[in-house]
Amino acid sequence: GINAEYGKQWYQRRVREAVVSTQSTGAYATTGFQATNFGAAVTMVNDMLEARDEDYKGEQYPDLRPARGCTIFLGFTSNMISSGVRESIKFLVKENLVDVLVTTCGALEEDLMKCIAPHQIGDFELKGSVLRDKGWNRIGNLIVPNQTYISLESFIHPILEDMLTAQKDNGTIWSPSKMISLLGQRINHPDSVLYWAWKNNIPVFCPAITDGAIGDAMYFHSYKSPGLIMDLVQDIRLINRTATAAQKSGMLILGGGVIKHHIANANLMRNGADYTVYINTAQPFDGSDAGATPDEAVSWGKIRKDAKTPVKIYAEATLVFPLLVARTFAKKVFKADE
């Protein structure tokens, strides 16, 4: 209708304005420090996109998403969906600009929850005991009421029941990515990242599917209707085969931990990624995966020895990622529209 068309025009205008407003970031490359790393990341992502437009010369497999010249893996921790970075991620998925998503359980549930009710801005210093009494949960300086989780559980339980029925009646064995695709289909909301991933056949992997409210819902449901099977092996085969089938591979990873390692480990199966951008604040001195530098990944074979010099931006992603999208993916989309 009129409102939907107005919303689309408003959104496109905002993204175009973002592209124009970031022209000055071209000087970042010669600024020094993390600004120079940002400039290198812009070049790296644009190289990924250029390679992605190349003809794919390998074999296409019917059970995999059709391969492009470069397969782009986008990983992000759940707080990216908690924040407004969700809009940037949704843009990439809606415009079909990435090929694989890897995230955590919190990102899945909060994407769905934001279709039910918005998060609210709070403050980093709000006292936990006071919030607890009010039924408000704090994520940094964001607030999520308990009621939204109750609404989420009401949404998920019938889906779990349908999944169990399909398992019993049709022999369906569910994997996390299959469940996530079903969640995207059922939410049927244009603000949802999962909806657009389902719509565009972009697989979403979540190896820690039980580590959050969705896992809580599965736990409670198992007492009412026990027996649901979640097969992780299907997904490790799928993400690894996607990597090995890739002509070239690009990793764009916001944050660390399981999402960072899951993508890097899949790329190990093809002797490493060709293009890499990390954005996180973690330091390497504690030996954590989050803090591990790209060169450490080279030692494992997760980034190719002959890859273009990988980039890590030491920065908080809500500051940096929307600018990176505007300087790369969005410029490509709106240049094509001109």
Residues annotated as part of the active site = 302
How far are the Cα atoms of 13, 79, 263, 289 from residue 74, in angstroms, in the given order? 25, 15, 8, 17
Contact, 99 vs 72, CB < 8 A? yes
Contact, 250 vs 71, CB < 8 A? yes
E strands of the chain, at which residues? 71-76, 100-102, 120-121, 136-139, 142-145, 204-205, 249-254, 275-280, 311-314
The rounded distance, in Å, linking the Cα atoms of 278 and 294 is 8
Q: Other CB atoms closer than 10 Å to residue 66's CB: what's the count? A: 10
Residue 318 tokens, joined: 């809500």
Angle at 251 between CA 196 and CA 47, to 5 degrees: 95
Count of helices and strands (H, E) across the chain: 15, 9
Contact, 28 vs 35, CB < 8 A? yes
